[in-house]
A and B are shown apart, each in its own frame.
Chain A
Amino acid sequence: MANIEKVTQGALAKNKKLNEIIERLNPLLNIEVNEVEEDAPLEIEYSDNNVVLRVPASGGGVPEGYVEALRDYVDSNNTAQQEYYLVKAVT
């Protein structure tokens, strides 16, 4: 989305607060999201041009307390299939 142009003419141009708001809004129109390493911190970098979010990768591991289990099954087409699912003991 294109940046909002500052008002330089007419009665609105006399309102300096309006252009300050436009300056603050324009970086939000250029948000950039980057995935960073799993152990890197979550960061938000705000500049005059854009906003950059650096989000740590989730890692996709098995949640604590769960283990993967493999299941064989017959699907609706009478074909043998396998899938993993997560199980956790009831304590």
Chain B
Amino acid sequence: MIRRAGPFATTSDSFQNLPTTPTENIYPVNCADDVNNSNWPWRYYRRDNFGEAITIGVVEGSGSTGASSLSFAEGTQIWFSYQSAAAWDFIFSYSAATTGNGQSEDVSIRIFNPITDIDFFANSDSGYGVSASISGTLETISLPRAVVPAFVKISFTAETNAGADWNFAFFDSL
């Protein structure tokens, strides 16, 4: 049994309240992959274009539609932290295709620990004059046990003038 940290946490303080304004280094704390508890919503931060305001998203149950699926066109980052009594599977699906027109194009997804900079997952594609595309359905990565909040960041990039069609789904298929 692990006492709940959070609801938000930093690397040095596991018991932060909901910040007045979403703050990059104050991560929402989740209970592994339990997305069905209204007392402990599964929250994440999201920031588009690597510069826009941070928004808080909530994953409510699993499913191919609704809050667990995201679509975006530019580079985006998602980050969260979690606690778990045992290692658990973070399952996700994604697809991306650039929409450029002859430019040098590149798409990539990277899931990593932002504190240690260790990768959990990475995939990318590039091309010149052709659309770059990557996809994965029900990809599974094992995240380690974490008594104190452990931190995860997902980085989506699209190096092209016209952006990309990105889709991402938590815990289910697209």
Chain B binds chain A: yes
A residues with a Cβ closer than 8 A to B are 71-80, 82
**Chain B residue nearest in CB terms to A74:** B2
> Considering the chains assembled together, what is the distance between the CA atoms of A74 and B42 in angstroms?
13
With A78-B85, A78-B86: A73-B34 Cβ-Cβ less than 8 Å: no
B residues with a Cβ closer than 8 A to A are 1-4, 31-34, 37, 39-40, 83-86, 88
Task: Give chain B residues whose Cβ lies under 8 Å from the Cβ of A78.
Answer: 31-34, 84-86, 88
| CB<8 Å pairs between A and B, sample of 16 | A72-B40, A73-B2, A73-B4, A74-B2, A74-B4, A74-B84, A75-B85, A77-B85, A78-B32, A78-B34, A78-B85, A78-B86, A78-B88, A79-B31, A79-B32, A80-B34
Our count of residue pairs bridging A and B at CB distance below 8 angstroms stands at 43
- Docked-complex contact A76 and B88, CB < 8 angstroms: no
Task: Give chain A residues whose Cβ lies under 8 Å from the Cβ of B34.
Answer: 78-80
Task: Give chain A residues whose Cβ lies under 8 Å from the Cβ of B40.
Answer: 72, 80
